[in-house]
């Protein structure tokens, strides 16, 4: 993965089997910039924070890592694009929580990868996700805008 702070949300990959699963960890701190001003009377980690979800972003990043561990390496002119994510938020996440993502490969269809995850804090389910991604040549993405 080419991401880095502040856009990289995964703190650690704790276990994986290529083509099968990946377990990753996100440690929630009150010092994260996303926490500033979000319900200041009660610190809650945003599940949905426009324009996107930080938990959803961590899920997508975990899926990208699993894909890259499971498929042929990306060439210099390729990127992974997450095309769709379905989410269900079931509980709150607060500073001090260690969020565990259990990401599972569902299916490889050519360049398309389907994956899902259960998201827990101390064995309590806080979210569930399903997603799809593809690998694409940079030339098909369009011109760089900056």
Q: What is the pLDDT of residues 54-69, one digit of tens each?
A: 788 899 999 999 999 9
Distance (Å, whole) CA 21 – CA 3: 21
Q: Which residue has the higher pLDDT, 34 or 72?
A: 72
Place of tokens 């299916």: 107
Q: Which residue has the higher pLDDT, 100 or 34?
A: 100
Residue 77 has pLDDT above 50, yes or no: yes
Give domain 12-138's CATH superfamily. Answer: Hotdog Thioesterase (3.10.129.10)
pLDDT band for position 51 (50/70/90)?
very low
Residue 49 has pLDDT above 50, yes or no: no
Quote the pLDDT of residue 48: 43
Quote the pLDDT of residue 145: 65
Quote the pLDDT of residue 39: 44
Residue 146 has pLDDT above 60, yes or no: yes
Distance (Å, whole) CA 60 – CA 75: 20
pLDDT band for position 92 (50/70/90)?
confident
Residues 6+ apart with CB under 8 A from 63: 22, 82, 103, 113, 115, 117, 131, 133
State the catalytic residue, choosing from 3, 8, 12, 38. Answer: 38
Does the predicted TM-score (pTM) go above 0.75? yes
* Contact present, 120 and 100 (Cβ < 8 Å): yes
pLDDT band for position 38 (50/70/90)?
very low
Say whether 54 is catalytic: no
Q: What is the mean pLDDT of residues 60-83?
A: 91
């Amino acid at each position: 993965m080419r991401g880095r702070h502040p856009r990289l949300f995964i703190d650690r990959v704790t276990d994986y089997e290529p083509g099968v699963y990946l377990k990753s960890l996100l440690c929630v701190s009150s010092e994260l910039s996303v926490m500033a001003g979000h319900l200041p009377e009660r610190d809650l980690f945003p599940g949905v924070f426009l324009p996107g979800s930080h938990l959803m972003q961590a899920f997508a990043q975990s899926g990208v890592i699993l894909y890259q561990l499971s498929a042929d390496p990306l060439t210099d002119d390729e990127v992974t694009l997450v095309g769709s994510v379905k989410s269900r938020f079931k509980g709150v996440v607060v500073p001090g929580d260690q969020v565990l993502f259990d990401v599972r490969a569902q299916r490889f269809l050519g360049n398309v990868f389907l994956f899902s995850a259960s998201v827990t804090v101390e064995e309590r389910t806080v979210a569930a996700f399903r997603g799809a991604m593809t690998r694409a040549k940079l030339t098909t993405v369009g011109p760089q805008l900056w």
